[in-house]
Every structure is written in C-alpha cells, then in structure tokens.
Amino acid sequence: MPDTGAPFLPDRRRVLLGGLGLVVGAAGLTLTVPSLARAAEADGDPSVVDDIQTIIGRLQQRFLAQGDQVRLANGIFLARTSEALSYAASLRQDGSWQNVDYADTTSSANGRVWSPYHALYRMMAMAHAYRDPEAEGHGRPELIEALNRALLHWDEAKPTCTNWWETEIGKSMAMGRVSVFVGDELSAPAREVAYAHNTGRRDPVGANGSWRTENYLYEAVAKRAADDIHRGYVTMSETVAVDLSGGIKEAVQVDSSFWAHGAQLYSEGYGMALFTIVAAWADVARGTSFDFSPEDIDAVAFYILDGTRWLIRGEIGMLYLGYRPPNTIDGVTSYAADFLEPLDRMARADEVRSAQYTRLADNIRGRSRGNGVTGHKYFWRSEFSSHLRDGYGVFTRFNSPRMKGSEYRSTFRPSVGNEIAWNASGATSIQVTNQEYGDLVPAFDWSHYPGVTAPYAKVTSASSPDNAGSFTGGVSDGRYGAGVLTLDRYGTKGLKSYFSFDEELVVLGTAISSTSAHAVHTTVNQGAARSNVTVGGRPVRPGTDSAPVTASWAYNDEIGYVFPEGGPLKVSHKKQRGSWIGREPVERDAFTLFFDHGTAPQDAGYAYIVLPGANPGRVRAYAAGPVVRTLRNDERVQAVTHPRLRLTMAVFHRPGVLDLGGGRALLVDQPALVILDRTDPSPVVSVANPDRPGLQLSVTLTSRGRTHRGEFTLGTGADLGRTVTRPLA
C-alpha cells in the first residue's frame, strides 16, 4: 500500500529553541542528553573501546567505498588512492610537492581550485591507501613517512585562503580523515599537526554546523575520547532540530523543509550535505553506546521522509539545478544521486523506516518511477508545492517577498544570462518518466521555465529582484492542493493559480500586464521532445519554431495538454543548443508549448489542463469534454470544480461570493485559498492565507436553503500560511 506521507511525529519532534536540543512531549520541554550520562557510566569500560574501534572501522570503510577518487565535500577530485605511492615518491625532502603553491589563496568556489588542496587530497589518498587491503600501498611504511613530512611542512607553511570554508572546514575535514585513518601510525609531532589544523568544533546550526561538528568528531574518535564523542553526537543531533521561532534561521523548518543563506529553500544543496553528514554518523554508531536516540532518529525521518522525499521523484523537482552538470554516483547520473549514500545509511540506522528510505533510493536508481509516497504537500515556510501520485509527480516553486527566490551560484555568462532568475516564479516540473528535463539540459531555454509567465528575454544581472507579490502561497488537505503566485517582477504583473487533482493539473492566469519591451510568454512546458510530439493528433515536424496552435490538445512523451478556452498558443519542436559552464556546446531536441501574450499585454489570461501519464486517446477524449470546469478566472476569484470528486478549489484574491452552480454559493470574508470537499454529508473546508498573520476568517456555504458556516483562526510566526482544515457546521 502506498505511503500517504502523513507526518509520523505528531507528539515528539526535535525542535531548536535557544540553541538546545529539546523534545516536545506531553510532559512539556525536557533536555535530552542521555549520551552524557552514558559517557560517565562507560568511563574505562572495555566495551566502549570496542565501540570506538567499530566507529573507526566504519568510517574508514565509508570513504574507501567511495572508490579510487578521493572525495571531499566540495565535489572536486584531485587525487586517487591508486596513485598514493607516486605522491610519496614525488614529495620533496622538506615535505612539499613541487607543483603545489602553498601560498595560493584562491577560493575553490565556482569550479576554481585552491592549490593547497592538492596537498591535502594527496595526504588523504596516502592515508586511504595505507588502510585499503586492495591498494598497492596497503601497509607500506613509506606512506607513513611521507605523511609525517607532508604534515610538518603544512604546519610550517600554514596555507590560508580568501574563502573561510577552505581554511575552516575543508582543511579540517582532510586533517580529520588522515587522523582517523592513520593517526595511531603517525609520529607524535605529525599527529599533533593533524589535530592542531583540525579546527572542528561543536556547532548545532545547519549544514555548516554539521561540517564543523563532524570535524570535531573525527578528532574525538581518533583520540578515542569517549566523553567528547558523546558530546559531539549530542550536537550532531541538534543540527536537524526544528526551528519553531518563525524567524530566519538556518535550520529544518516546521514544514520539514530546510533553509540556508537566509529565508531560502535549500533542502537540496546545503540540506543534502546536512543529511549526508548526519546519516553517516547515525550509521557508523548504530548498535554502539554512541548511537542516536530514538528521538534523534525520528528527527532525521521528519526532515527527510516528511520533507525532502516530497521533492524527489527519480529526479529533484527543482528545474534550476540544470544550470550545472549532475553528479554520477553509484552509476546513477542525476541531481538526486547525492542522496543515495545517506539514504542507504539511514536504511540501516532506522530499521523501523528502512523500507521507506530504500524505496526512495530505488526510485533515484531508476528501479521504480514512483518514490512510494502519494498525496499533496505544501511547504508553507518555503513556498513549494509537491503533488505525488503513483503515475506522476508535479512540483511547483513559488516566491513571495518573504522568501529569497534565487541565489546565483555559477559564473555569469552574458551569452546565456542568469539561468535561475525565474526558477521560483511558479516554475512547474511535470514528471512521469523522470527523464523529461534531464534529457534536455544543458540546452534548456532559461527564458521558458514551465509554468512561468515572464518577458521572453535573457536576465542580464547576476542578482535578480525577488517577486513583490505578497499574496503568494498554497493550501493542501493532504491529498489535493492549490497554489497562487501574485506575479510582480521585471515590470510584469499577473495572477496565477494552480489546482492539483488525481489526474489533472489545472492552471489559470489572469490580469497579466507588462511594461517590458519584450513579448510576455506563459510557458506550459519545455522538455525533451519525443517522437510522439503532436497537436490535435497531428505530428509536429522537427524544426517547427513557434507555430500557432489551433487544436484543443497537444501531446509529448507521456504528458497531455488540454486548452478548454484556446488562446494565443504556440508550439516548438526544434533543436536547442547550449552548454554547461566550461563544457562543449551540445544540441538537444526540445518541445516547448507556450502562450504568447505579445508585447505590453493588458489584462491577458490563459487556462490549460495537464494530464500526466495519460495516453493520446485519453487526452483527445478529455479535450472533447473536460471533467474539471473553470468557475471563475478574474482579479477577484480564480476557481475550478471537479464534479466527480465533489471538490472545489478557489483562490479568493478579495473577499467575495463564488457561485458554485446548482443553487450553491461559497462566501469567504477575507482573501484566502480554499478547498471545499463535499464528499461527506458535512462539507469540509481547508483554508490558508499566506501573508496575514492570525487572520480571522469566515467561510459560509449556502445550498438550497441550508447554510454551513465555519470560523477559522489562521497561524502566525512559523505557522503563517499553514492550512487549517475542519468541517463546516
């Protein structure tokens, strides 16, 4: 039976409050530090010595299992275990390598390399080879002798960098790895150098905190310091604590998303790094006296299974990641591949939920299209919508003034423009095969994000303005959901609403205007073109560029599109040329379907229905008689109804009345997103408002002389924008 994705931590969740790890339970707030008590009891216990040795062995296996290339957190490969003996042979007598500039201060951000990293990577490679039974350098004393000299020279040269990460975290990681692998084999002076240049410390805050704490743990483990190991584990568990403050903190949020660099969704990237580190330490300590408590394991599951899992269906549903090449891990080339190792580790560390972690990992590996979870989740803190069914997934990213929509992280290329400028303006990833977009990047047209209304022009600034439309958010009852983007960027305004059902995604737009000198497009989709590209059942020839569409439906790959109201539609089926930074240009066959609103539109609109996973015959039939009906699409209300599901979804931009037909009407006295479910005798309403804290809202349903009414008090702080669901009386 598919997992509905219902939160499994209703009563006991790790939270972040005043920097302490706390558990919320029926008895209130209590500090959970059983590890400290266990440390005191275990002092001098031989079993603890065995536990530490178990951790050391598992840490060594963790890194040796990554293969010949030595990996650090920055993804740069500068050394191989198989070449360890050559590194030792090329080391000069003073402990330096001739081709390493120890005085270099270049930041390793954006593909550049800090030259001293070459020395650090070679030291790690030699340490790995010494312990790797399959390596030519296994147990070779010349590797230890070379490491002694290389470490002493590092201490004399004291390399530094303009970027704090290299000197504080990257260097410490390398020193920690060396000490864990061969600390007991090094000379006393060299061993002390490794410890001295590992500046790790206990830090409970986010991804950087997990890196610092990991480095602290490396040294504690290498020293066999049981008390310090316990303290490090307590801090490591706090890095995935939930921030209940409602402020802007780098932490797991109450909706199980993750923020970094301000109010910015980073469940991938920094959030992935955090998960990787915490999962690794959970795995290496399992079954020992240092392992995570059940509450700590619950906290990781809340973050990943109730959170990050909803962002992944084979691929990560965040289209902007295509600005860079994906990594290849365990034979899988994917933007989600980085999650494989920590998912495998949590499958071991969390036996209760092992099957859920494994199912997600199998999905990323391509063994299944779905990830095992179905339903609708709106991340109200991070303004991200996920709609998952067995046969497809739809992901939509919004951006209000409360959130930072993009952070440009690649070298700016005038010929391409800012690739990620529009990634949070309603960008919608529609995934059935999970190869819809991966087969197109790097030749993606960054001015045609699916789901986005924007001037068709390159963004030529590295820092783009955030969306000024405050009434931007979503509502979800757990199975269905709606979202709204009040667009106000680059002189372009509009009201955009998205409604997700079992088989359909319905998207409405109205009040679109622009002062841009460029034509404004609403992109229905842009993806890899397949051999079945058709409009109205007729093939679209390769080479077609912006041809008018007069039919009521279109098809590509395994996705159908229906246009119940027509409109200024255009279709392209052509080769697009592009490249990733530093890579050779490539050509890809692209399918693009978009509304062309023209230059300086006034009060333009659109309506379309997406049918993911439907075959062409089903799409043709649906176009002849759409099941979902649009009730209104204007500046006051955007609403649709699904008679078969007895479900109505509406975005009330202003208070008002929505005529439901059949003598029924829905009255809402404040701006709100509303789901009306009439499957039971007592109608159930889900409501949300994204930008008015503590809003008091009244909903009234009149039906053939009967009146049902409900009063709703909406959230504040961390619960601003959160859905409230209850029956109408």
* pLDDT at 34 (0 to 100): 33
* Exposed / middle / buried, residue 11 (Cβ in 10 Å: 0-12, 13-18, 19+): exposed
Q: DSSP secondary structure string, 285-316?
A: HTTSTTPPPHHHHHHHHHHHTTTGGGGEESEE
* pLDDT at 704 (0 to 100): 84
For tokens 């490794």, the residue is: 194
* pLDDT at 46 (0 to 100): 86
For 692, residues 6+ apart whose C-beta sits below 8 A from its C-beta are 670, 671, 714
Reduced to 3 states (helix: H, G, I; strand: E, B; else coil), residue 591 is strand
* Exposed / middle / buried, residue 502 (Cβ in 10 Å: 0-12, 13-18, 19+): middle
Closest CA to 706 of 670, 674, 682: 682
- Torsion, Cα of 303, 305, 310, 314 (10° steps): 120
Backbone phi, then psi, for 719, in 5-degree steps?
A: -100, 10
* pLDDT at 638 (0 to 100): 98
Residue 502 to residue 391: CA distance in whole angstroms: 10
Q: How many CB atoms lie within 10 A of CB 463?
A: 12
Residue ranges in the chain whose pLDDT is less than 50: 1-42
Q: What is the pLDDT of residues 559-618, one digit of tens each?
A: 999 999 999 999 999 999 999 988 999 999 999 999 999 999 999 999 999 999 999 999
Look at the chain and count its residues.
729
Task: Give all strands (DSSP E) within 5-95, no chain letters.
Answer: 14-17, 20-25, 28-31
For tokens 């202003």, the residue is: 654
Q: How many CB atoms lie within 10 A of CB 30?
A: 10
Q: Please name every residue paired with 513 in a beta bridge, in sequence order, or none if there are none.
A: 493
Give the gyration radius of the chain's Cα atoms. Answer: 28
Instruction: Please state the pTM of the whole predicted model.
Output: 0.91
For tokens 């051999």, the residue is: 531
Residue 525: HSE in the Cβ half-sphere, 13 Å Cα cutoff = 31
* pLDDT at 284 (0 to 100): 97
* pLDDT at 109 (0 to 100): 74
* pLDDT at 414 (0 to 100): 83
Q: Which amino acid is at 718?
A: A
* Exposed / middle / buried, residue 44 (Cβ in 10 Å: 0-12, 13-18, 19+): exposed
Rounded to 5°, the CA angle 724-727-729 comes to 125
| Residue 432 DSSP symbol | S
* pLDDT at 111 (0 to 100): 67
Provide the CA 527 distance to its chain's centre, in angstroms: 20
Rounded to 5°, the CA angle 525-454-399 comes to 90
Can you state the percent helix, strand and coil of the chain, rounding each to 5? 30, 30, 45
Closest CA to 302 of 394, 366, 237, 245: 237
* pLDDT at 705 (0 to 100): 83
Q: What is the pLDDT of residues 520-543, one digit of tens each?
A: 999 999 999 999 999 999 999 999
* pLDDT at 643 (0 to 100): 97
* Exposed / middle / buried, residue 577 (Cβ in 10 Å: 0-12, 13-18, 19+): exposed
Helix and strand totals (H; E) in the chain: 15, 36
In the numeric block, which tokens belong to residue 203?
Answer: 């830090």
Provide the CA 49 distance to its chain's centre, in angstroms: 39
* pLDDT at 32 (0 to 100): 29
